[in-house]
């Protein structure tokens, strides 16, 4: 068994946590009247969704390449659940 699925799972969870942080910061920041600052929450939301798509893509490609190993599927499945939970929270 290689350590690549475990590394990919950890990387996907890291991307999901960064996406959650972007979402929390964009909801927490008070809007100001200046033009560039009013667009920051929307920019962070788009960046969070992009990171979640990247995390899902990493998990999907790793599952395709290492799908025969049961332990790798377990770690990839757990990471996919974390990414899906964060995506549900970001979308809502």
Whole-angstrom Cα distance, residue 71 to residue 8? 13
Q: What are phi and psi of 32, to 5 degrees?
A: -115, 175
Residue 65 neighbours by CB distance under 10 Å: 13
Residue 85 neighbours by CB distance under 10 Å: 12
Closest CA to 89 of 26, 30, 23, 44: 23
Of the two residues 85 and 42, the one the predictor is more confident about is 85
pTM value is 0.85
Q: Which residue range(s) make up the domain with 43?
A: 4-91
DSSP label at residue 84: H
Query: How confident is the model at residue 92, as a pLDDT?
Result: 76
Task: Name the band, by pLDDT with cuts 50, 70 and 90, for residue 29.
Answer: low
Q: How many domains does the chain have?
A: 1
Res. 30: pLDDT tops 70: no
CB 5 within 8 A of CB 62: yes
Query: How confident is the model at residue 48, as a pLDDT?
Result: 93
At 12, is the secondary structure helix, strand, or coil? helix
The 10s digit of each residue's pLDDT in 42-82 is 888 899 999 999 999 999 999 999 878 888 889 999 999 99
């Amino acid at each position: 068994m290689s350590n690549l699925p475990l590394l990919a799972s950890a990387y996907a969870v890291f991307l999901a946590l960064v996406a959650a942080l972007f979402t929390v910061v964009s909801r927490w920041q008070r809007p100001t009247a200046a033009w560039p600052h009013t667009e920051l929450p929307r920019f962070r939301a788009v960046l969070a969704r992009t990171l979640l798509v990247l995390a899902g893509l990493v998990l999907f490609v790793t599952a395709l390449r290492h799908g025969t190993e049961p332990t790798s599927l377990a770690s990839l499945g757990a990471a996919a659940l974390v990414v899906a939970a964060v995506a549900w929270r970001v979308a809502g």
